[in-house]
Amino acid sequence: MRKWLERIKDLKAAPWVAVALACALAWALMSLPSRGNSGMTEEEQRVSATLSRIAGAGDTRISIFYAQESSAFGIGSRTPVGAVIVARGAGDVAVRLDLIRAAEALLGLTDGQVEVFPMEDAP
């Protein structure tokens, strides 16, 4: 490794290597899911906003869990494999079932892949 670095210095390629490393780092950071102030990704925010519109649900938060799949070209796709919903109205069984059905439909999940819990009241 040390010899490799010395060769790069000798070739005066260090600026090009630095640019290449900076580009690779920028690409890696841009490929991460963005999170807003709520701590949720854009998709989680979108789904949470939809779930909050269900009668009786109230304020909701969702965490979506993904399986990372890679293709032959090294580009991965993220497939939802589960979700946890915390909702103010989840103490009501009918609301809880509506939240599960909606999340399954929105994310393409099946029975048992969505869990719903009541939200703790803010102090």
| Domain ranges across the chain | 1-32, 36-118
- The model's confidence at residue 121, banded by pLDDT at 50, 70 and 90, is confident
Architecture of the domain delimited by 36-118 = 2-Layer Sandwich (3.30)
| pLDDT tens column, 67-87 | 877 766 766 778 899 999 999
pLDDT digits (tens, 9 = 90+) for 19-57: 555 545 444 444 555 555 568 899 999 999 999 999 999
Contact 47, 85 (CB under 8 A): no
> Which residue type, as a one-letter code, is found at position 50?
T
Residue 88 confidence (pLDDT) above 70:
yes
Residue whose C-alpha is closest to residue 89's, from 49, 115, 119: 119
Count the neighbouring beta carbons within 10 Å of the beta carbon of residue 41. 18
Model-wide pTM > 0.75: no
* 89 φ/ψ angles, rounded to the nearest 5 degrees: -95, 10
Span 105-113, average pLDDT: 94
> Rounded CA gap, 60 and 52, in Å?
6
Give the Cα separation of 31 and 56 in Å (integer): 36
